[in-house]
DNA sequence: GTCTATACCGTGATAGAC
DNA sequence: GTCTATCACGGTATAGAC
């Protein structure tokens, strides 16, 4: 029937799970809450996804693949336009961050929820190592290779730590906690991703250059 | 009796709760797990602390107060030694970070657990705004005032966003997820806080200067 | 005042019938 | 695909021991 107009129940479960897991983490959400908010029967989630943990993985994977593709494209694009010297640090950071901004500003609220979930996972001692390493680090390794080329004086240890700072700055922004709104007395807004990235890119670029012993061109 | 030799059951509950909350978050831990690992009766936690949420708050508060004092002292100290021009950005960042390193390297594993818990809270949409704002932001506001003085060309919005990046970089380091160990193939270690701060300070300092339109001296 | 044993009652995940 | 039953577990209150 109206398969194009209505989103399927299966997808509604994913969307709702994404939203709730992002807010409260894996343990803070029950299957019943998800089913209730998605207006489906409790058992339907198990029917489609199996155990709660499998649903969690499905939520995480759905957009990880899309994001990896978009970021890879962005990296290849900036490598293609730069000469044999390769892209600058700033261009690489741009390629890493701008796909996120595009999705967050796309109007699909699912992306904001998803990236808040990534914030939760990235900072979790139990999930961070496992999920982030498995699903994002193969691509991150390509970005790091590009950074090494752009920073020939750096040693590897410096690059990895700088990536850690970038990752932390980025995911706290994902989390949309509203803390900056309060701290700045309403001057800044957690949901203002455009501004967040506009400042983050020069911030991180300068940090890489300083730590990795390279004057900015 | 041996009140000096043995730590009290009450403190054992706090220590264990700290460890488990840091690993799994508020919802990922049960009172029974805490009691079991602390080797006390289930009901003792409620007796001393009331509801689960109150125990969580007690864990959070215990070291927040100590940390605030130490950081304030460090700020005042660097303000006292600098002239009327006030401390540099790098000195302010040092004052903000070094007390953390001292506690993490102090040998008391409780501090490592506590700061991993702060990572969890800071990145949580439900706890971040409430707990961090209430208990840390009064002091953070003093650091930001000092930064404004050190960066007279900056506007407030830039400073707040830069603080956000600092906070994210810092708390991801707290989280000790072990992701960097894997990504760097064993070159870097999550628990190597000395190195983490040694690189973080110049990284963040350069970021502030770049975004806030100030050449580094 | 500190602590333990136990009981209560709601809720959760999941399997199996339909 | 849906409904329901099961059974374990969780937070918390209470009674009373030391």
**pLDDT digits 0-9 by tens, B122-131:** 999 999 999 9
With a cut of 70, which residues of chain A have pLDDT below it?
1-6, 215-217
Could you check whether A1-50 and A60-211 share the same CATH topology?
no
What string of H, E and C letters represents the secondary structure of chain B? Answer: CCCCCCCCHHHHHHHHHHHHHHHHCCCCCCHHHHHHHHCCCHHHHHHHHCCHHHHHHHHHHHHHHHHHHHHHHHHHHHHHHCCCCCCCHHHHHHHHHHHHHHHHCCCCHHHHHHHHHHHHHHCCCCCHHHHHHHHHHHHHHHHHHHHHHHCCCCCHHHHHHHHHHHHHHHHHHHHCCCHHHHHCCCCCCCCCHHHHHHHHHHHHHHHHHHHCCCCCC
Closest by Cβ to A129, choosing from B124, B125, B178 = B178
Confidence check: pLDDT of B1 > 70: no
pLDDT at A5: 42
Domain range B60-211, CATH class: mainly alpha
pLDDT at A2: 39
Q: Are A18 and A110 in contact (CB under 8 A)?
A: yes
pLDDT at B83: 85
pTM for the predicted model, two decimal places: 0.96
pLDDT at B105: 92
Residues in A 28-57 with any Cβ partner in B closer than 8 A: 28
Residues in A 61-100 with any Cβ partner in B closer than 8 A: none
The ranges assigned to domains in chain B are 1-50, 60-211
Q: Which residue has the higher pLDDT, B141 or A214?
A: B141
Contacts of B24 in chain A (CB under 8 A): 27, 126
Mutate which: A141, A161, A205, vs B, most B CBs within 10 A: A161
Determine whether B106 is exposed, middle or buried from the number of CB atoms within 10 Å of its CB (0-12, 13-18, 19+): exposed
CA nearest A104: which of A17, A185, A170, A38? A170
Confidence check: pLDDT of B3 > 60: no
CATH number of A1-50: 1.10.10.60
Whether nucleic acid strand D comes within 7 Å of the CB of B48, the answer is no
Partner B contacted by A196 (CB < 8 A): yes
* Interatomic CA distance for residues B109 and B160, integer angstroms: 32
User: Where residue B215 falls among pLDDT bands split at 50, 70, 90?
Assistant: low
pLDDT at B216: 59
Which pLDDT tens digit goes with each residue over B197-206? Answer: 999 999 999 9
Which pLDDT tens digit goes with each residue over B96-123? Answer: 999 999 999 999 999 999 999 999 999 9
Shortest distance between the Cα of A120 and any Cα of chain B, in A, equals 6
Handedness of CA B143, B85, B214, A192 (dihedral sign): positive
Shortest distance between the Cα of A189 and any Cα of chain B, in A, equals 10
Which pLDDT tens digit goes with each residue over A141-181? Answer: 999 999 999 999 999 999 999 999 999 999 999 999 999 99
Q: Label residue B39 left, alpha or beta by phi (over 0 means left) and psi (-120 to 50 means alpha).
A: left
* Interatomic CA distance for residues A46 and B96, integer angstroms: 47
Percent of chain A clearing pLDDT 90 (strictly above): 92
């Amino acid at each position: 029937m109206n398969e194009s107009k209505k989103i399927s129940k299966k997808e509604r479960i994913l969307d709702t799970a994404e939203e709730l897991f992002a807010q409260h983490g894996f343990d803070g959400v029950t299957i019943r809450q998800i089913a209730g908010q998605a207006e489906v029967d409790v058992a339907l989630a198990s029917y489609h996804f199996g155990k709660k943990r499998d649903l969690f993985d499905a939520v995480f994977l759905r957009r990880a693949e899309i994001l990896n593709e978009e970021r890879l494209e962005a990296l290849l694009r900036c490598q293609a336009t730069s000469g044999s010297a390769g892209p600058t640090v700033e261009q690489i950071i741009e390629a890493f961050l701008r796909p996120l901004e595009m999705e967050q500003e796309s109007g699909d609220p699912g992306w904001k929820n998803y990236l808040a979930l990534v914030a939760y996972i990235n900072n979790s001692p139990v999930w961070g190592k496992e999920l982030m390493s498995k699903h994002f680090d193969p691509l991150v390794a390509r970005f790091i290779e590009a950074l090494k080329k752009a920073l020939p004086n750096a040693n590897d240890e410096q690059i990895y730590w700088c990536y850690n700072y970038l990752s932390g700055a980025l995911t706290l922004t994902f989390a949309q906690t509203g803390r900056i709104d309060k701290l700045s007395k309403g001057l800044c807004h957690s949901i203002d991703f455009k501004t967040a990235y506009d400042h983050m890119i020069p911030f991180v670029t300068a940090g890489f250059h300083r730590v990795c012993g390279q004057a900015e061109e």
